[in-house]
Amino acid sequence: MNTQRLILFFVFSFSLLLLWNAWQKEQHPVASVTPSPTPATGTPSVSMGSPIVVRNAGALPPVAIEERVPHRLLHVRTDVFAAEIDTLGGNLSYLELLKHKDALDKEKNLILLGPAHRFVLQSGLTGGLPYHRTVFATKATEFDLAPGQDNVTVHLEASEGGATVTKTFTFHRGSYKIDVSEGVKNRTAGPLAPYAYFQLTRDDKPPAGDPHMVKTYTGPAVYTEQDKFQKISFSDVDKGKLSSKAADNGWIAFVQHYFVVALLPPDKTPREFYGQRLADDFYSVGVKVPVAPIAPGETRNVAVSVYAGPQDQDHLKAVAPGLELVVDYGWLTIIARPLFWVLKFFHGWVGNWGVAIILLTVVIKLLFFPLSAASYRSMAKMKLVTPRMMKIREQYADDRMKMNQAMMELYKTEKINPLGGCLPILVQIPVFIALYWVLLESVELRHAPFYFWITDLSAADPWYVLPSLMMISMLVQTKMNPTPPDPVQAKVMMIMPFAFGVMFFFFPSGLVLYWFVNNILSILQQWQITRMIGGNKPAGEKR
């Protein structure tokens, strides 16, 4: 296998990988499930067949409260959130991230929870006590994080089933973590032993602006120390793979491109994770936590933290064990994570992600310098003996065995390794793919500008300038390489830069920048080595 054929194989394999990933995301079978009825409008209710099983506390109310019941929206604003809490259920029904822009309209903030995907955070109690369809009362409707305050708290209260429940949301300055608690006061004559549940409901559609080349993961994920990080696709939820999962650690979340909403119960607290399909394209995932027995007149609290924000790897690791794993670089994570670490180091130094990519390219090129140099020396020698190779092919055109023997003798005499150009390419293929996933999955590079017209390194070049420059650089490299003896192969090699360039029109501009800079460095290195070898006596004059 010569270098040209290996490059063709790389192009074909990488294209096939992209198509396979896209096909897998599109072709998840949907099990046949009878949909549960949902209200005509407003926040969806959990079905009565919910996995929120009540032990020694009765069942959920058989009939949901009508949407016509008066309710209000409470408005909360912090330095990172603009939120709305619905008094119908005390649910967090809207969450806008003030420091992150929408994927399609950079003039608007990103809406993480909201009506577009019916994405809602719900909580409640089992056993006939206030739940996520009960109407709660509150004294105020506007809650702002005042200057100098570290947090802002929202209290809602409801009485039902012989208990008074105070639901509390606590938003913190500079944090995407929200604390949600249920305080239960027993007003009955006997003890209460309910379960509290906290759940996320959402449709199965990916967020707008998801990449078209490879669809990123949208769906539930769960983590425990025993089973580690697991993605549970919507089709797996249909099959009951998340119907009940007991543990005393871990979290459950809805993951989407660049962002995550995770339910984080306190460590070492018994919990049961669950997931279910509520309607044709509508799902819930959540966690159920036992409330210690509550004596008459006594009050007990149960709380869960919620992380709702970007997949910032360093921050996620500090929030909860394993939460950083939602940033999924696929099967090349072992390469991608060090690449991202180096990229982040350079960004901290220069303050521009595009410049950081250029510096990373230089570092990778230096690491592979010995391999590249050997490859270019081999190709330079190959170019010098090309006329003699053509004569051998003409001389033994009817005897392939003798032709191969003569070729091998020529390689041996001129000390040429015909596979010398293969190893650098083989080594760089996993690096290239790993960097692709780093640029695709790292929220730090989302909407990160470079210079001039490149305003988002994670998106395609809007003017196709970088792909065009990369195409030109590939043409220069092709001209510098030995011309294949086979005319058909020679034509294919001339077409390949154009085919490769068109494919790069749809790649993140940061990846195209990497490949273009890598090509420029390769051209300079190859030119220098070819000039040095060409200065010696041509191989064809030795005989």
Chain-centre distance of CA 1, in angstroms?
36
Question: What value does the mean pLDDT take over residues 287-302?
Answer: 95
**Left (φ > 0), alpha (ψ -120 to 50) or beta: where does 372 sit?**
alpha
Contact 319, 177 (CB under 8 A): yes
Could you report the per-residue pLDDT of 77-105, keeping only the tens digit for each?
Answer: 999 999 999 999 999 999 999 999 998 88
Residues 13 and 102 in one domain: no
pLDDT of residue 10: 53
- Give the DSSP letter of residue 55: S
Where does the pLDDT of residue 422 fall: very low under 50, low under 70, confident under 90, or very high at 90 and above? low
Same domain, 450 and 504: yes
Which helix (DSSP H) or strand (DSSP E) does residue 246 occupy?
Answer: strand 245-247
At 448, list the tokens.
């990160």
Question: Looking at the structure, do residues 74 and 7 belong to the same domain, yes or no?
Answer: no
Question: Does residue 458 fall inside a structural domain?
Answer: yes
| pLDDT the model gives residue 6 | 47
Whether 178 and 242 map to the same domain: the answer is: yes
Residues 410 and 517 grouped into a single domain:
yes
Is residue 465 scored above 60 in pLDDT? yes
User: Please, is 262 exposed, middle or buried when counting C-beta atoms within 10 Å of its C-beta (0-12, 13-18, 19+)?
Assistant: buried
- The answer to the question of residue 216 being in a domain is no
Residue 340 and residue 301 in one domain: no
391 falls within a domain: yes
If asked whether residues 117 and 154 sit together in one domain, one would say yes
Of residues 38 and 443, more confidently modeled: 443
Question: Are the C-beta atoms of residues 376 and 530 closer than 8 Å to each other?
Answer: yes
Q: Report the pLDDT averaged over residues 193-212.
A: 89
The region of weakest confidence among 43-47, 260-264, 453-457 is 43-47
Q: Which of 89-98, 321-330, 428-437, 478-487 has the highest mean pLDDT?
A: 89-98
What would the mean pLDDT of 230-249 be, rounded to a whole number?
Answer: 93
In a domain, 213, yes or no: no
> Which residue(s) pair with 152 in the sheet?
171
Residues spanned by the domain of 7: 3-20+336-541
Query: What does the pLDDT average to over 359-370?
Result: 87
Give yes or no: residues 292 and 387 share one domain. Answer: no
SS3 of 301, please? strand
Instruction: Using pLDDT thresholds of 50, 70 and 90, give the confidence band for residue 484.
Output: low
Q: Is the pLDDT of residue 263 over 90?
A: yes
Q: Would 519 be classed as within a structural domain?
A: yes
Q: Do residues 377 and 471 share a domain? A: yes
Best-predicted range by mean pLDDT (5-9, 41-45, 231-235): 231-235
Shared-domain flag, residues 475 and 359: yes
- pLDDT > 90 fraction of the chain, expressed in percent and rounded: 55
Count how many domains the chain has.
2
- What CATH code is carried by the domain that includes residue 175? 2.70.98.90
For 246, residues 6+ apart whose C-beta sits below 8 A from its C-beta are 270, 271, 272, 273
Question: According to the model, what pLDDT value does residue 182 have?
Answer: 97
Asked if 346 and 401 sit in the same domain, the reply is: yes
Q: Are 538 and 384 in contact (CB under 8 A)?
A: yes
- Higher pLDDT: 154 or 267? It is 154
Residues 501-512, mean pLDDT to the nearest whole number: 86
- Residue 23's alpha-carbon distances to 18, 19, 195, 327, 438, in angstroms, are 9, 6, 41, 21, 21
Q: Which two tokens stand for residue 176?
A: 């995407």
Residue 45 lies in a domain: no
Residue 160 inside a domain? The answer is yes
Please, where are the H alpha helices in 222-277?
Answer: 234-238
Q: Is residue 37 part of a domain?
A: no
Question: Where among 257, 292, 307 does a domain terminate?
Answer: 307
Domain limit, last residue, from 287, 307, 327: 307
- Burial of 99-122, coded b for 16+ CB within 10 Å and e otherwise, reads ebbbbeeeeebbbbbeeebbbbbb
Q: Are residues 290 and 438 in the same domain?
A: no
- pLDDT value at 475 more than 50: yes
